[in-house]
Amino acid sequence: MSLQIKVPAVGESISEVTLSRWIKKDGDAVEMDEVIAEMESDKATFELTAEKPGILRTVAKEGDTLEIGALVCTIDENGESAVTGDQSSAPASTPPAAANEPAAGSQEPPASIQVKVPQVGESITEVVLSRWLKKDGENVEMDDQIAELESDKATFELTAEKAGTLKQIAKEGDTLAIGAVVCEILSSAAGTQPAAAPAPASVQPSAPAETSKTYASGTPSPSAAKILAEKGVQASSVTGTGVGGRITKEDAVKAQQPAPQAPAPQKPAQPAAVSQQPGASSPAKPERREKMSSLRKTVAKRLVAVKNETAMLTTFNEVDMQPVMELRSKYKDKFKEKHGVGLGFMSFFTKAVCEALKEFPAVNARIDGDEIVYHDYADISIAVSAPKGLVVPVIRNAGALSLAGIEKEVISLATKARESKLTLEEMTGGTFTITNGGVFGSMMSTPIINAPQSAILGMHNIVERPVALNGQVVIRPIMYIALSYDHRIIDGRESVSFLVRVKQLLEDPARLLLGV
């Protein structure tokens, strides 16, 4: 019986990969989770592992371009069973081998379990292993937190599904698809057998381990080799951090950093040459590269997708904030004394938006295929700048909350965002978004829609400006507001009318209380 090994899903935007090289040859005996091939996408190089022990039968060839789900190879279990059959049939002639082989055979399936990346959200296809909380070989208890995973929306912990000894497979910084193996946990039964298992590992795999080290150590992956060639850096001068010392793409990118530091001490020795030839100093200009976080990469993809896939327009208006500011100034102390939170602008805007959405439901809707989904409730997403990037937690049923209730939710969600403690549930399901660039001094902007929503309201800074009021020029605190919307579902009349309604409610806050 043979097991088919196919190209795994490695990212929502990756449809094909290249088989760059075979690490194991056709006909080789492989162990479970042993690296058998190296594959490369347009974004990263990753390794293909054996899903069970057996004899490798290669199907694809080095250099082949394979689609996700395409057959790469098979693992013939019959070959393994024949070997174990021979060993078990001749225990008398080879007692040491017979003693070791059953131990290895009994060690794999029953003695360990694989801990995989769990399903963490319908729109999340990959996560990043940000850090290990337990060390390789360390004993863990059931439900112990063993690793920290980071998606584009939240950070969460991976727990041990049983007690035993931790065997790490993925490394910190690895990007893992949902369902990918992160580690193994060897049970207490395995805890005694790993001591016996190293014996055959040191007897037989000593040669293969040596050859694999010779093969991988100092050898760049295809993408790494390309980067090193562009930078003019010799592979021999780079220390690989990949499996067996392989030079990864990240190693190649970082290899350029020491280069500028080497000529640095030489420049003072030739100050005249540097001053006479300014162009020669340009390569030594300081620069640095940092790997994009998973959150940043996903946000970038989605923002570009929104711009490309929606008919996005933006309409503007201005709001005289004096009535709201006078109301806040008059009641802010009593409000805080009674409710324990301050009275900010966000609660007024959220309340005004919820009232306006009732009158213009298309602004609160979304497109799903050939259908328009109207939401008869208002779950308002609030954009928050967190240390790892922009996040958008959701205030549930905001229309049913009071100003105090909204303020409490805003404070709670903003605090969790800055401490990276937001849950997936708190990050998903919004129907309309409010973003406040005014806190950073923005005067006017065109915010990008938070898909799959159809509209987003942008707040900006408040500036005293001269305006005409009752035939006289007066100074008023004015805020420009912007509504970006998907013109496929929201017409110009609706967008402008919605924004005018928000303006009316804010310039006469009594309307919020009276519902008029």
Left, alpha or beta for 309 (phi > 0: left; psi -120 to 50: alpha)?
alpha
Mean pLDDT of the chain: 79
Q: Is the per-residue pLDDT at 108 higher than 80?
A: no
**Which of 62-76, 300-314, 370-384 has the highest average model confidence (pLDDT)?**
370-384
H/E segment holding residue 105: helix 95-111
195-211: pLDDT as tens digits: 444 444 443 444 343 43
**Which of 62-66, 111-115, 364-368, 438-442 has the highest average model confidence (pLDDT)?**
364-368
Mean pLDDT of 118-136: 79
Task: Show which residues are catalytic.
Answer: 487, 491
pLDDT band at residue 236 using 50, 70 and 90 as cut-offs: confident
Q: Please choose, from the candidates 352, 444, 361, 434, the residue with its C-alpha nearest in 3D space to the C-alpha of residue 399.
A: 352
Burial class (CB in 10 A: 0-12, 13-18, 19+), 178: middle
Distance CA 307, CA 284 (A): 37
- Structural domains of the chain in order of their starting residue, each with its CATH number: 1-89 (2.40.50.100), 106-204 (2.40.50.100), 222-284 (no CATH), 295-514 (3.30.559.10)
Considering only residues 104 and 314, tell me which one the structure prediction assigns the higher pLDDT: 314
Residue 222 is predicted with a pLDDT of: 62
- Cβ atoms < 10 Å from Cβ of 409: 22
Query: In this structure, is the dihedral angle defined by the CA atoms of residues 159, 161, 167 and 170, taken in order, positive or negative?
Result: negative
Q: Please choose, from the candidates 44, 40, 52, the residue with its C-alpha nearest in 3D space to the C-alpha of residue 5.
A: 52
326-343: pLDDT as tens digits: 999 999 899 999 999 888
Mean pLDDT of 419-446: 87
Residue 232 is predicted with a pLDDT of: 75
- 118 touches 421 (CB < 8 A): no
Distance CA 226, CA 157 (A): 36
Considering only residues 428 and 390, tell me which one the structure prediction assigns the higher pLDDT: 428
Residue 119 is predicted with a pLDDT of: 76
* Strands 45-49 and 65-67, bridge-based pairing: unpaired
